[in-house]
Amino acid sequence: MMKHKIATFGSHSALQILKGAKQEGFETICICKRGKEKPYQSFRVADEIILVDSYDDFFEIEQQLIEKNAILIPHASMIAHFGIDQINAIKMPYFGDKKILTVEADRNSQEQWLADSQLTIPQTFDSPEKIDRPCIVKFHGAEGGAGYFLAASKTEFDAKMNNKKNAAYQIQEYILGVPTYIHYFYSPLEDEVELFGFDRRYESNVDGIGRIALKDQEQFHINTSYTVAGNTPLVMRESLLPTIFDMGDAVVRHSKTLTKQGLYGAFCLETVVTSDLKFYVFEISARIVAGTNVSVEGSPYSWLRYDEPMSTGRRIAREIKHAITQNRLAEILG
């Protein structure tokens, strides 16, 4: 049994993170909102569950976690709740580069990162007057695409923006193709980007619209929305894999010019693949994404490499284990 423990918040990808940590010989702690603990008990992934009334109570139990030798694994649920300032206030050992989250959190600096990595990105429009093609309008800090809308002109934009006047938004060219979320893991110890797999999001109502006839769609006056409800697994054409590896390498390489440590651990490129097989990258997530939950037992790709069930959560724990045994823990804590 390892001296360190692995802790995370009970939501998002916690089942996989805690399970993977146990597989690698760590004891696990789940910090959980009261009333949300059932899955962590039922699936037997947590050696200890610390119940809190709100995520904000974390700062009251942080010292306790430090004394338990716990390392915190961040995920979107935690990052969305805390925001950058509170993340920076965390004192306990934390897996990942906190500074890269600042680059990720701002849509403009994130776009710059992707563009400077020579990836193809959708065009953005800095004012509604400039809309000259179908666009998707996204709100900053939107939880899982809720409230996004489509507009192909300023008139349509104004009509749909009507009751959201004060919200900060981004207008992005709508890319027609198949949404593909690419899961990577960059090991700073091995200096290698590994491909972990892919998912498709299952979003409401956009993934339901194709289930009704066009004449019914018109009658229903539907506003397309993108609220994520779940994920499904995916494998990609094998001939696309070299490009996919190159894209992962490129964002990691460029991230080293943005912060001292650069991006490491799990990350995801969120893309749309067009009919000419171009990847348009519309977002990067600099941490584990919940789409990796489709591969709790490992994905087809992690199986090829590891010959044992290797989820992203388990890969994180393995990196931490290697860092501990090689005396290099400081290199993977932000």
User: Contact residues for ligand AMP (CB under 6 A)?
Assistant: 11-12, 76-77, 80, 122, 136, 138, 142-145, 148, 172-175, 179, 201, 203, 226, 228, 230-231, 270, 272, 282-283, 290-291
Most distant CA pair in the chain: distance in Å? 64
Of 49 and 189, which CB lies nearer to ligand AMP in the complex structure?
49
The Cβ of residue 260 has, within 10 Å, a number of other Cβ atoms equal to 9
Closest among 307, 3, 332 to 190, alpha carbons compared = 332
**Shortest spacing between CB 201 and ligand AMP, in angstroms:** 5
**Shortest spacing between CB 285 and ligand AMP, in angstroms:** 8
**Shortest spacing between CB 283 and ligand AMP, in angstroms:** 5
Query: How far is C-alpha 181 from the chain's CA centre?
Result: 9
Of 244 and 284, which CB lies nearer to ligand AMP in the complex structure?
284
Of 261 and 311, which CB lies nearer to ligand AMP in the complex structure?
311
**Shortest spacing between CB 270 and ligand AMP, in angstroms:** 5
Exposed / middle / buried, residue 192 (Cβ in 10 Å: 0-12, 13-18, 19+): exposed
Q: How many CA atoms lie within 13 A of 328 on its CB side?
A: 12
Long-range interactions of 54-61: CB distance < 8 A, separation 24+: 55/9, 55/31, 55/81, 55/82, 58/9, 58/31, 59/89, 61/31
Which two structure tokens, joined as six digits, stand for 14? 């916690």
By Cβ distance, which residue is nearest to ligand AMP? 144
**Shortest spacing between CB 230 and ligand AMP, in angstroms:** 6
Of 145 and 309, which CB lies nearer to ligand AMP in the complex structure?
145
Of 291 and 334, which CB lies nearer to ligand AMP in the complex structure?
291
Of 70 and 175, which CB lies nearer to ligand AMP in the complex structure?
175
**Shortest spacing between CB 329 and ligand AMP, in angstroms:** 27
Residue with tokens 């194709």: 210
Identify the three-state secondary structure at position 272: strand
**Shortest spacing between CB 146 and ligand AMP, in angstroms:** 8
Q: How many helices (H) and strands (E) does the chain have?
A: 11, 13
Of 74 and 298, which CB lies nearer to ligand AMP in the complex structure?
74
